[in-house]
């Protein structure tokens, strides 16, 4: 299982264009938290139509995004905890073409 996001809390979802979105993750989501942000840019046909669903299910919550080869699987759960403990819950999956992931300032 390859978890893509390196930080646990989804703090933002942005539409880049119809076929790409940007997810932003942080370690903590409060004023004064460290400024490290992990960005996950996802490309896929009409993927931006999923922004509202991602926000409703995951915004400001612990989120793990797994590379499922042909789809990205979104879990509600802390990436610092083992999924074997039963603390993760699959919420949905999205087909994708590619993604880019990196830390940004």
Q: Which residues of the chain have pLDDT under 70?
A: 29-34, 84-86
* Distance between CA atoms of residues 80 and 93, nearest Å: 21
pLDDT at position 48: 97
CB–CB of 53/92 below 8 Å?
yes
* Distance between CA atoms of residues 86 and 20, nearest Å: 31
* Distance between CA atoms of residues 93 and 75, nearest Å: 9
Domain ranges of the chain: 9-98
pLDDT at position 30: 62
pLDDT at position 52: 96
In 3D space, the residue among 61, 59, 37, 51 whose CA is nearest the CA of residue 94 turns out to be: 51
Global pTM reads: 0.89
pLDDT at position 90: 85
């Amino acid at each position: 299982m390859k978890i893509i996001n390196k930080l646990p809390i989804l703090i933002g979802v942005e539409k880049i264009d119809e076929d790409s979105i940007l997810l932003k993750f942080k370690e903590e989501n409060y004023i004064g938290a460290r400024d490290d942000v992990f960005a996950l840019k996802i490309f896929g046909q009409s993927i931006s139509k999923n922004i509202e669903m991602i926000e409703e299910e995951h915004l400001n919550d612990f989120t793990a995004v797994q590379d499922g080869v042909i789809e990205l699987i979104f879990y509600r759960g802390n990436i610092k905890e083992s999924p074997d403990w039963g603390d993760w819950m699959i919420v949905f999956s999205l087909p994708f073409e590619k993604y880019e992931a990196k830390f940004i300032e």
